[in-house]
C-alpha cells in the first residue's frame, strides 16, 4: 500500500468485480443483521470536513494539472536539447574522448542527463519542495531536500548511462527487433533495482533499525508466518525527517526481502491500524505483485519502445540533418526518444493508474482478511486524506487515482465487516487525531 510518494518513476475484470461488490450494500446489510454499510461508511468519511477537506481536495486536484505541465516541461526540455543541437554536441564531445561505440554512448548520456536535470530543476523545486511546504507535507529544510536530490542524481548518473549503453547496443545489433530486446534489458535493470534497492539505495535516504520486540512485532510476525512471508528482517525507518505520511512495505527479492515500517506509522496510528497496513503490504508479497509489476511494466515499455522504433526513424530521416542526429543508433537521438516516451506515458496515464489500482485493491482485500481489522483499515484510509482526495467521482478516480480512493477503501472495509463480523456495530470515530 503506497501510503507515501515514491521518488523514482500497472485488469479490468477484477475492477469490475470490485464495482459489483460495491453495488450491493443491501445484501451486506442483510447478512449483518441490520448493519448499515453506507451509514458506517459515511461515519468515517464525514469526519473530514471544512478547511481540512478543502485543503485535501485542493492539493490532490492540483496534481491533475501537474501531470500535464510536468509532461510539457519535460518534452520542451528534450526538444530544446535536440533542436539546439546540444545533444549532437554531447555526442561529438564523447567521440573526441572515446573510440569505442559503447563508450561514446555511455559518455554522451552523462551530459544529457545533467542538462535535463538542470532544465527541469526549477519545476521540480516548485512541485516537490515549495508546493509540499505550502500544504504542510514537507518536514525538510531546502538544504536537506536538495541534499537528497543530489544523492538521487548521483545514483542516476551511475544507472542511467549503463541502461542507455545497453539499449543502444541492442539497437546496433538488432535494428529491426531492438525494441523487443530493449524491453528485456529494461526488465533486467528493474529486477536488479528491486533486488539491490532495499540494501544499497534506501539506506542512503533513511536509517533502518530492527523493530523492537513486543506485541506489535509479534503480531506482524504471526501474520507473515501464516502466509509464508520471511520475517528475518523487520525494520523501522525514520521517514519522519522527510514528511509525516504513513508508509510500510515488503521489499526486496530472494535474500534481500525485508519488511519495513516508517516511524510515522508507529507514532501516528494505533496497533489496529498498523496491523491493517501490514496485512495490505503482506498481500503485495503473497499475491506476487512484484513479479506481476515487472511483467506489466515490461509490456508497457514494450509498447513505448515499439512506438519509438516506428516513429523515430521517420523523424530522423526528415529532420536529422537539422538536429545533428545521424540515425537510430546515434546517442544524440536521446532527447527524441525522451520526447516520444513523454507523450506516450502522458496518454497512457489512465491505463497505468488502473493497472496499479487493481493491484492495490487486491492487496486491500487480502489485508482485511489477514488482519481482520476493518475499522483500523478505515481509519488509515481516512488518514490518507492529508494528501489524497477522499471522495472523488467514479470517472475522476479512474483517470487520476493510482490507488483506490479513501471512500472506496472505507466502503470495502465496512462491507467486509458486515460479511465477516458477528454482530457488527457502526463506529463513529469523530475527528481522527494522532494516537
| pLDDT tens, residue by residue, 85-113 | 999 999 999 999 999 999 999 999 999 99
User: CA-CA distance, 182 to 15, in Å (whole number)?
Assistant: 31
- pLDDT at residue number 431: 64
- The DSSP call for residue 245 is -
How long, in residues, is the chain? 435
- pLDDT at residue number 330: 97
Low-confidence ranges of the chain (pLDDT < 50): 1-32, 434-435
- pLDDT at residue number 10: 36
User: CA-CA distance, 302 to 154, in Å (whole number)?
Assistant: 27
φ/ψ (deg, to 5) at 249: -165, 155
Joined together, the cell numbers standing for residue 216 give 506489535
- pLDDT at residue number 432: 59
The label of the residue with cell 443483521 reads: 33
User: CA-CA distance, 212 to 218, in Å (whole number)?
Assistant: 10
User: CA-CA distance, 17 to 393, in Å (whole number)?
Assistant: 18
- Residue spans per domain, the chain: 60-203+290-351
Joined together, the cell numbers standing for residue 287 give 499475491
- pLDDT at residue number 433: 55
The beta strand positions in 94-164, using DSSP E, are none
Is the whole model's pTM more than 0.85, yes or no? yes
Amino acid at each position: 500500500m503506497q501510503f507515501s510518494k515514491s521518488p523514482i518513476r500497472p485488469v479490468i475484470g477484477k475492477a469490475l468485480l470490485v464495482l459489483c461488490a460495491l453495488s450491493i450494500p443491501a445484501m451486506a446489510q442483510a447478512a449483518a443483521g441490520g448493519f448499515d454499510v453506507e451509514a458506517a461508511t459515511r461515519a468515517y468519511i464525514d469526519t473530514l470536513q471544512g478547511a481540512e477537506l478543502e485543503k485535501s481536495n485542493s492539493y490532490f486536484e492540483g496534481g491533475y494539472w501537474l501531470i500535464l505541465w510536468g509532461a510539457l516541461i519535460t518534452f520542451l526540455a528534450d526538444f530544446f536539447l535536440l533542436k539546439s543541437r546540444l545533444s549532437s554536441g554531447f555526442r561529438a564531445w564523447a567521440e573526441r574522448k572515446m573510440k569505442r561505440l559503447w563508450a561514446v554512448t555511455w559518455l554522451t548520456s552523462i551530459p544529457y542527463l545533467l542538462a535535463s536535470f538542470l532544465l527541469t530543476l526549477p519545476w521540480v523545486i516548485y512541485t516537490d519542495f515549495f508546493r509540499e511546504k505550502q500544504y504542510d507535507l514537507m518536514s525538510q529544510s531546502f538544504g536537506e531536500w536538495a541534499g537528497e536530490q543530489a544523492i538521487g542524481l548521483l545514483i542516476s548518473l551511475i544507472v542511467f548511462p549503463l541502461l542507455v549503453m545497453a539499449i543502444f547496443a541492442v539497437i546496433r545489433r538488432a535494428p529491426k527487433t531492438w525494441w523487443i530486446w530493449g524491453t528485456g534489458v529494461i526488465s533486467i535493470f528493474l529486477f536488479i533495482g528491486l533486488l539491490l534497492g532495499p540494501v544499497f539505495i534506501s539506506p542512503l535516504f533513511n536509517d533502518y533499525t530492527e523493530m523492537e520486540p513486543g506485541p506489535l512485532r509479534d503480531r506482524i510476525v504471526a501474520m507473515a508466518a501464516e502466509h509464508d512471508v520471511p520475517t528475518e528482517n523487520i525494520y523501522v525507518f525514520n521517514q519522519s525527517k522527510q514528511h509525516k505520511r504513513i508508509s510500510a512495505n515488503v521489499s526486496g527479492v530472494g535474500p534481500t526481502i525485508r519488511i519495513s515500517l516508517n516511524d510515522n506509522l508507529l507514532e501516528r496510528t494505533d496497533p489496529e491500524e498498523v496491523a491493517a497496513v501490514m496485512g495490505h503490504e503482506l498481500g503485495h508479497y503473497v499475491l506476487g505483485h512484484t513479479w506481476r509489476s515487472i511483467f506489466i511494466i515490461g509490456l508497457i515499455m514494450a509498447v513505448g519502445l515499439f512506438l519509438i522504433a516506428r516513429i523515430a526513424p521517420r523523424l530522423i530521416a526528415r529532420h536529422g540533418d537539422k538536429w545533428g542526429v545521424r540515425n537510430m543508433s546515434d546517442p544524440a537521438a536521446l532527447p527524441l526518444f525522451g520526447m516520444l516516451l513523454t507523450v506516450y506515458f502522458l496518454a497512457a496515464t489512465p491505463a497505468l493508474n488502473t493497472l496499479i489500482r487493481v493491484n492495490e485493491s487486491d492487496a486491500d482485500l487480502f489485508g482485511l482478511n489477514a488482519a481482520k481489522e476493518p475499522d483500523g483499515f478505515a481509519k488509515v484510509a481516512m488518514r490518507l486524506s492529508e494528501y489524497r482526495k477522499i471522495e472523488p467521482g467514479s470517472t475522476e478516480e479512474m483517470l487520476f487515482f493510482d490507488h483506490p480512493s479513501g471512500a472506496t477503501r472505507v466502503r470495502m472495509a465496512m462491507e467486509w465487516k458486515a460479511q465477516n463480523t458477528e454482530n457488527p456495530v457502526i463506529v463513529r470515530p469523530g475527528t481522527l487525531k494522532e494516537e
